[in-house]
Amino acid sequence: MHKYIAEFIGTFWLVLGGCGSAVLSASFPELGIGLLGVSLAFGLTVLTMAFAIGHISGCHLNPAVSIGLWAGGRFPARELPWYIVAQVIGALIGAGVLYLIATGKPGFELSSGFAANGYGEHSPGGYDMISALLVEIVMTMMFLFVILGATDARTPRGFAPLAIGLSLTLIHLVSIPVTNTSVNPARSTGVALFVGDWAVAQLWLFWVAPLLGGLLGAIFYRMVSGTWRDREEADQRRQQESKPSHAA
């Protein structure tokens, strides 16, 4: 249970810190942090939680990351459902706390977006569904590629949180204008359920694209890193060792 609670807390922090920066601080009069600040906020949530709970749960905070790590041979399938449930609940509670804070300001309206992800008329830059699909798939794919590489046993230890947090910052810098950046189905679900209407109607894309991107990232990393070849060789050795000996 410690792992699932850690994932709950970590995803809660990601939504409260990342989406909170977008809702409360991005355009604050005269002192707004803007796109750069929101991007950095999302990266910092992952960076800080990677140090805080990485040794407990691995700090996935994202169903696409859990799926990608499973596809990359780093995570058992039996734990996937529980991780995803914990992440979605953490995102919902994080969005709930953010809603309670945001509604304390006169004039606040959910129709302003509440950091929900969208395409078409609900894209910050007016990008269509194809652009949204493409950016979410590619950005999640590269995110998983970085995660698998930074946490590979052959890389220097201790620097993975920096690489992963900065990677997420870069992803937001590129894709906020297109979809408001998801790359995380739990993050998208948490705020979408509060917005309702169009945010829920478009939520399917922010599950399908990140999950597909996570799988592709794992596939490409295993191809590039040679881990598939190592696994195949190990399987072949086990098969040879398991054959009965016919020696007299």
Residue 41 lies in a domain: yes
Residue 233 lies in a domain: no
CA distance to 104, 112, 144, per residue, from 140 (Å): 34, 26, 6
Contact 18, 93 (CB under 8 A): no
Closest CA to 23 of 89, 90, 109: 109
Residue 167 lies in a domain: yes
Residue 244 lies in a domain: no
pTM for the whole structure: 0.87
Residue 237 lies in a domain: no
Tokens of 58: 């691995």
Residue 136 lies in a domain: yes
What pLDDT digit, counting tens, does each position of 19-51 carry?
999 998 877 666 678 888 999 999 999 999 999
pLDDT of residue 175: 95
Residue 148 lies in a domain: yes
Q: Which amino acid is at 234?
A: A
Contact 179, 119 (CB under 8 A): yes
Owning domain of residue 165: 1-101+115-227
Contact 205, 181 (CB under 8 A): no
Residue located via tokens 């195949």:
232
Contact 61, 84 (CB under 8 A): no
pLDDT of residue 240: 53
What total of structural domains would you count in the chain? 1
Tokens of 201: 């109607």
Q: Which amino acid is at 139?
A: M
Q: What one-character DSSP code corresponds to residue 113?
A: -
Closest CA to 114 of 214, 20, 219, 8: 20
Which CATH number belongs to the domain containing residue 209 in this structure? 1.20.1080.10
pLDDT of residue 156: 84
Low-confidence stretches of the chain (pLDDT < 50) are 233-235, 238, 241, 244-248
Residue 245 lies in a domain: no
